Amino acid sequence: MSVSSRIPAAALPVPEDPGALPVWPASARPAPDGDVTVGGVSLAEAADRFGTPLYVLDEGEVRERCRAYRAAFPDADVVYAAKAFLCRAVARWVREEGLGLDVCSAGELGLAFGTGFPAERIVLHGNAKTPQDLASAVRLGVGRIVVDGLAEIARLAATVPRTDRQQVMVRVVPGVSAGGHPAVRTGTGDQKFGLSTADGSAQHAVARIVGQPHLDLVGLHCHIGSQISSVRPYLAAVRRMVGLMAQVRDQHGLVLPQLDIGGGHAIAYRPGERALDVRVLAERVRAELADGCAHARLPVPRLTIEPGRAVVGPAGVAVYRVLSVKHTQGRTFVAVDGGMGDNPRPALYGVRYAPRLIGRRSTAAPAPAAVVGRHCEAGDVLADRAMLPGDVRPGDLLAVPAAGAYQLSMASGYNMVGRPPVVAVRDGAVRLLVRRESLDDMSRRDVGL
């Protein structure tokens, strides 16, 4: 279903302080009545129309971030990591902005392919790809498949028709630890992803792929973690990957033309937090790669990067309605109509957000409160010690910026609370992208008595 309308926004001057809403989409403007507009659309009016919880995605912000990556990496393949958030509209936006797509399942692949996304610009990932994943990728002709385990090599080789050759890369664990939380550090050998250079499994995978007549090894891949705010770990990874590329040349006479260094670029979730500077990353990675290849007497491979969160995360705003306010044992609990069912990240990683009261202006002094969800878990806390006006009350609206990535993509059906809708905003217009999940939707899957 597609809904398009225009919600009028108050005529607002651009704030004199450009940092007034520093972790919000660039189009966000505070209104005199306490509301906030994004893409020229009133969040309070959008909440009234579409209900809450509601996810608002700024199309212009997504497109601008795609363009910023293309400008920073003009000679590289920029591939959007669909796991951050994927729907048909997002697939179309990144395709139109010239990005490729990184998918992790036959489901993500099928959705993208159904929108007309060129298969040759799609990369398939996954530490445990199913036979269906591999068969779909080969049948649809995806550009590259990233091999993540030794057992996958024979399985993939048996899937490729005898008349074809499938381009593959090997996911390498370079021994570089980086990321904002232990659960998202993927560059060391003590986790489930990739093949390690330390124990020789990466080198063994290369040798086995080279011996397969229907697999074409075109490069190496690594992904060292997520929410990385420093350039240094990427430079260390590049050095180690170039070293392995030199080994492949010396041992197999094969000069690999591609190098994929993954994504994991940090964004700011709260004012004052550090985001990764993409332009600095591009400059220093290019310099490191050129220097390393010169020393190893290798041609510089074509680079691939895989931003996901950094493209869609800052473009999203989640809007909730307050259901109750409870004062107990010196704490204030502000319960909203969403929670870990639509955003499990605080429970998984302990992340912190900066919710904001919208829809009315308050003169009450700010006070710390725990913004909690409606789900039956003590850990269902969206934002602990959030500074909110002391008079926050049931019926109020709270908006949470930087909500575009790894929230709805990891949403669940816990307590049979339907997943929220997603709307796109741009130039004062709002349209429905993903409708709210209903009880009927969930009931249809329950076919037995």
Q: Which residues are catalytic?
A: 376
Nearest one of 444, 420, 416 to 433, comparing CA atoms: 420
Cα–Cα dist 183/228, whole Å: 13
Tokens of 319: 């809007």
Tokens of 168: 């593959």
- Where residue 418 falls (left for φ over 0; alpha for ψ -120 to 50; beta otherwise) is beta
How far is the C-alpha of 315 from the C-alpha of 154, rounded, in Å?
A: 41
How far apart are alpha carbons 117 and 124 in whole angstroms? Answer: 14
Residue 170, CA distances (Å) to 209, 315, 325, 380, 438 in order:
9, 32, 52, 38, 41
Cα 326–chain centre separation: 34
Taking CA atoms, 136 is separated from 36, 80, 209, in Å, by 43, 20, 20
335 forms beta bridges with 324, 372
Helix H or strand E encompassing 209 = helix 201-210
Looking at the DSSP bridge assignments, the partners of residue 369 are 386
Those residues with Cβ within 8 angstroms of residue 427's Cβ, 6 or more apart along the chain or in another chain: 39, 40, 60
Q: How far apart are CA 382 and CA 400, in angstroms?
A: 9
For residue 369, the number of C-alpha atoms closer than 13 Å in the C-beta half-sphere is 28
Contact predicate 228/180, CB 8 Å: yes
Between helix 150-159 and helix 131-140 the angle, nearest 10°, is 50
H helix or E strand, kind and range, residue 80: strand 77-81
How far apart (Å, rounded) are the C-alpha atoms in residues 201 and 206?
9
